[in-house]
Structures are given as structure tokens and as C-alpha cells.
Structure 1
């Protein structure tokens, strides 16, 4: 049993860490407070060829693996949540296209993703259909050689700013989840509009509306009725990387806590000398290691053992995101008053870390997935 990265994976990790430290760190405090896309950051990611981690070689990428995606997300999130978001959301859009798309669809969209010429958006959630995907109300009616889409999506990350969208609608409303289909849209499609939503933590996100939105039959991804399968397989692949994102943020919170504890003095000594502080740091180190192991176990299984890792991916996402919340809270506590001072790193992390426990399947949904696998 080997708990080490391969030489290639370790090189990738070091290269992304160097890039994040040298290029992203100087602007992270600014861009991580944005509610719109920083195209400067998007270009940096493209220049570093990071989007190539999401696409196959024949379309300009290097061949995506779950482990490499997790490495990238952990290292980016350690420095800039905004950079990670642009990478991850494009990954959510690229995965269903590369897995279920035709050659023409892959050539059109994946090549642009590889070059960083387009940012993708994965639009699944609706005002009355979040965890219950089968309850979505958007429809797509075939009219000659076109589908006519009507409906509303919400909480679509980078939604108002992306160029390419993967979205879901019912082509057969009477067939339940088997009547859901998946479509690829371009931003300039007539009848499509997007507007921003504001969250408690900075996050480019929005509501998307389709009003008699006509797309060609060629915009259908996969076959009619395959939407639920496409949605779930995409979440299966990307869900463990949400855990990596949480590990990255938790790592930064841990590092900030250690640094502050060593330099902050109280009662004549650094607060790191107090047993109470040491106990907090010990718990943080233990939980961080456990979360990282769950994340990379799931990624390794996806790459080397089986494509179906629903239970392992849910365990990784659930534990890592809830762990990160506890880590951020402890980091703020160790900082005392400076921990809640607007603009400090731990304060920014504290606001940002709450969201991953909700998106791409809430903590409750992860427990349902795990429970069903245990009992099946």
C-alpha cells in the first residue's frame, strides 16, 4: 500500500504550488472578494495550462484523472478560492461533454476549454429542485430540428459570466427522472439570460432563465432521457474534488493558526506554548490528515479501480467539508479578535468555507448516499 504521489503527481503538485504562491498570492485577497469572474485569473490558469488537466489529449489536454484534478484543487484553494472556482466549474462542464459528447461536440467545446478560451457552467439546480433533481421543472420540447427550452436555474456558479453551459431539462415530463435530458448551450443563444445572485461569501453565481430558447438537436448531450445519468456521473467524478477544495482551504487555515500562535504573545509567552492551543492544533492536524486520506483514496479508486465511487466520493466530500468548517472556526478562535477582523486571511476563509457543505450535494445527501450503499 503506497500513500505517496507518483513522481509525475508530485511534480504537478509542486508546480501548481509555485504558481499559486508567485502569481495568485499577490492578488488573492482582492480577487477572492469578487462576485464576478476575474478574467485576469482565468488567463493565468490558461497560461499555466491548468485547464488541460480537465480535457483529453486529442482535444488539447493531457488526459484528466481524478487525482490530478484533486491535486490542482487542493493547491489552488490553499491560496485562492476564486482561482479554484474557475477551474472546478469548467471541470463540471467539461466532464459530461468528454464522457457523453459526440466528436463534434468535443471538438467544439473541449478544445476551447483546453486553451482557456471559454469558461464553463454546470446548471442543474432550480428554485424548487435542489437536492431533489427529479423535481426540476425546466422543459425542452422538440420542434422540428430544434429543442425549445423554458425554465429557470439558480445557484449556477459563474452562471452570468460563462461562455458554455451544460444544463438539464425534461423532454418527457411524465417519465420522472427518466425524462430528463442534458443540453449544451452557448451564452449568445437567443432567449437565454443570466443575472447575479449575492451569497454570504464572495462567489460569482447567478440565476439563468430560458425563455423559448431554441437550440439545435445537435445540442443534446447523449440520448434523450440520459440527463439523470449524466448529472450523477458528473457529480460522482467531481464530488471528491470538492473535498480536495475543502482540504486546501483547511490547510491554509491551519498554517495561519500555527504562524499566529508562534508569534502572538500573552502572559509573557507565545500562545503556542499553552497546552490549550496545542490541543487545538493537534486536533486540526489529525482531522486534516484524515480528510486528505479520504479524498485521495476516492481519487485513486476512481483512477485505478472503478468508475463507480459514489460512496467513497460522498465520504470524502462530507468529511472534508465539515472538517474544514471546524478548522476555520478554530483558526479564528486562535486569532482572537484579529480572527474576525475584516480582510484577514482566516476571516475570509471563515466566510467562504460554509458553501461547500451545500453545493454538489448537501451533507445530508452525502449521508443518504453513504447509508444506501452500506445497506444495499
Structure 2
């Protein structure tokens, strides 16, 4: 694959995924309950081998999966992405015992993972998290190092129904990003409780409360005080694919708009014959394609291990999510009142498209990352 075109095999695979999403996964999604984990849908993703590919794929393949699934079934796309986000730290940094215990179940869809980073006062500024991991003095000799987790996590996807959580906690107070550690916390750990939140998006999101939850060195993901690197490495992988999710939604809205404006009669002709409509559709199509190419380029840069991945990933997420919001909103306007009916594709996309501009780094955070990387590059070049 070049950064500007997919090869025939990739195109065929994407078409197959769209068909699977529409014919097999969409019916399962329709039988799910909003705000709850749809376990039959997660199991179907496992049976199709898509969850296993989360851990054997590069960033580009992940983007193709997410874009293709989003086009036909946003719920399936989100279920797949959340499994990857929650379990990737275990795959990349976990101990052999952690990987053996959880990854096979994640891949087959029998265990649901979650990524617990955000807090009520530490969302975009993730380095400001305050969930405390305090040394546990009550552990018996020979039981290894231990901590007690105390505090709260908020806006956590798949909470409170996930089977395990990748939890980021502060092991060294006052150290900022350098004092955070990552822990694998099973849902049945004593002291861990959760509450669902009623959100506009259909997938589950909740609050987690930690009341002295015990963890040991066996639960540590990576090294003590190095957990922020685990979090940022995971987000750098998934940010371009958030853009791919957005592109899939934008393309679905665009295709629906093309079909509608081609058949809808108004003012003595078809909507597509009105220059104002035709030009708007042309603009939406151009922006969608530009976003797609930027996502592919960022994913390819990640797979090549290039140094400027943070900047390119931020650019891809920024442009794609903002573009998708614009495309879906315009599609609703061109469809008129019918698009506001509960159950209409665009009513569904209108609710889905808003959240990606916030999660995994809000649009404003992406702009901050981009500017920081640009000025760092300028300073580096001046020093040479």
C-alpha cells in the first residue's frame, strides 16, 4: 500500500468487512441495549477473527478495520476498538502471566477489557491524574510489593461491566507524568465498584470507584512510575484509527446523502440539480477524502516507526473527527426532518459522531500537540 491508495487485496478486504458489518453484526447490534456491553456482538467479533487481528496488525490495518466496520455498524466498530484500547497495554507491556490469562479471552470475545485513564478532574490533562496507589504496609513478608488504589475514574468506556481494567494510578505524588504506574485490575477485585453514566452515545460508559483496591507487583503493567508511557504509546497507536472511525461515519453519511439528493424531487427537479446542493456535496466528499488520506499517512508513519508519529497522529484525529462532524451535520440538513427521526441512519450517526472529538484527546489537545511538535522540530533544526 502507498500512502495514497489501497492495493486490490486491501480494497477487497474492506468490502468484505463492510458486508460482514451490515449483514452479520448490524442485527446483533440492533438487539443490544444502549449503555450496556453487547456480549453477543463482542463474541461475534471474536468468532470472525477480528479481535485476534487487533494484536497482530499494524496501525494501517487497524484503521482499515475501524473505517470499514464503522461504515456498516458503528457499535461493532466501537466494541472492537474498546477491546483493543483496554487490552493493548497488556499485549505490549504485560507480563507473560498477564498475557496468558487475559489475551486469549479478549481475542475470542469472552472477556471484555477497558482503559481507565480519565478522572473527573483529569481528562485532557491526563498527567494530572490523582488516583492514589499507596504502598500497602499490611502485606505479609514474602508476598511481594503491594499497593492500595484509592480514588475515582470517570468517563470509562465499558465501565462498570468490563471483566478487567487497565488502570493508571499515581505511585509517586508530585511527579506529574513521571509518577504514574499502570495496573491490570480484574473487575472482581475487592473495593472496586462502578456506576453507569447516561450518555448520548449508545456504548457503555461509567464511573469507577476504588476504595483501597489491592494490587501487587504481579498486577503491574510495565515498570513502576513508567505507566504514562504505556498510556501514551497506546493512544499514539489508536489516535489515527479514531480518525478512521470518523472517516467511516463520514463516508456512510456522504453515501446516504448522494442517494437521497439524487432521487429527492424539489422545486421542479432533483435536489442534486441545485448548484447549492451539488457544491456542498462536492465539498463534503473532498474533505472526507482528505481526512482519509491523512489517516492512512499517519498510520503508515506509525508502522514505519517514524519520529513524527505524535504530530501526524494528532493531525489525523483532528482533521478526521472535525470533518466527520461537519459531514454528518450537513447530511442531516440536506435530508431534512426525516433525518431526525429515531432510528434513521443519520440520527444514529449524529449521536455517534460527537464523542470522538473529545475522547482520546480533545480537538484542542490535538492542536496543542501539533504546535508543540512543530516548535520542537524548529528548535532541533536550529540547533544543528
Q: 1:65 aligns with which of 39, 58, 68?
A: 58
Provide, for residues 266-291 of structure 1, a one-character-per-residue CA deviation record: whole Å limited to 9, x for no partner.
12322112111101110111001000
TM-score by length of 1: 0.94
Work out whether residues 13 and 71 of structure 1, in 8 Å CA contact, stay in contact via their aligned partners in 2. Answer: yes
SS at match of 1:121: strand
Report the Cα distance in structure 1 between the residues aligned to 2:29 and 2:273, rounded to whole angstroms: 31
1:8 Cα deviation after fit: 4.7
Distance verdict in 2 for CA 1:101–1:80, change over 3 Å: same
What does residue 275 of structure 2 align with?
A: 275
Distance verdict in 2 for CA 1:27–1:111, change over 3 Å: closer
Distance verdict in 2 for CA 1:29–1:255, change over 3 Å: farther
Q: Which moved more, 1:3-12 or 1:346-355?
A: 3-12
Work out whether residues 28 and 79 of structure 1, in 8 Å CA contact, stay in contact via their aligned partners in 2. Answer: no
**Count of residues paired in the alignment:** 368
Q: Summarize the alignment of residues 209-288 of structure 1 with structure 2, pairs less than 5 Å apart.
A: 209-288=209-288
Structure 1 unmatched ranges of 5 or more? 56-62
Distance verdict in 2 for CA 1:307–1:120, change over 3 Å: farther
TM-score by length of 2: 0.92
Provide, for residues 186-225 of structure 1, a one-character-per-residue CA deviation record: whole Å limited to 9, x for no partner.
1111111111001133231000111111122200111110
Provide, for residues 334-368 of structure 1, a one-character-per-residue CA deviation record: whole Å limited to 9, x for no partner.
10121222221111111211110000000000000
Report the Cα distance in structure 2 between the residues aligned to 1:279 and 1:10, rounded to whole angstroms: 28
Structure 2 unmatched ranges of 5 or more? 377-384
Work out whether residues 54 and 94 of structure 1, in 8 Å CA contact, stay in contact via their aligned partners in 2. Answer: no
Distance verdict in 2 for CA 1:30–1:290, change over 3 Å: farther
Report the Cα distance in structure 2 between the residues aligned to 1:232 and 1:273, rounded to whole angstroms: 48
Distance verdict in 2 for CA 1:307–1:234, change over 3 Å: farther
**Over the residues paired in the alignment, what is the CA RMSD in angstroms?**
1.6
Report the Cα distance in structure 2 between the residues aligned to 1:162 and 1:83, rounded to whole angstroms: 16
What does residue 92 of structure 1 align with?
A: 85
Distance verdict in 2 for CA 1:161–1:308, change over 3 Å: farther
What does residue 336 of structure 1 align with?
A: 336
Work out whether residues 148 and 213 of structure 1, in 8 Å CA contact, stay in contact via their aligned partners in 2. Answer: yes
Report the Cα distance in structure 2 between the residues aligned to 1:275 and 1:24, rounded to whole angstroms: 38
Distance verdict in 2 for CA 1:287–1:360, change over 3 Å: same
SS at match of 1:287: helix
Distance verdict in 2 for CA 1:8–1:106, change over 3 Å: farther
Q: Summarize the alignment of residues 1-376 of structure 1 with structure 2, pairs less than 5 Å apart.
A: 3-28=4-29, 31=32, 34-55=34-55, 63-143=56-136, 144=139, 145=144, 146-306=146-306, 309-376=309-376
Report the Cα distance in structure 2 between the residues aligned to 1:203 and 1:107, rounded to whole angstroms: 28
SS at match of 1:223: coil
Distance verdict in 2 for CA 1:103–1:329, change over 3 Å: same
Work out whether residues 158 and 204 of structure 1, in 8 Å CA contact, stay in contact via their aligned partners in 2. Answer: yes
SS at match of 2:202: coil
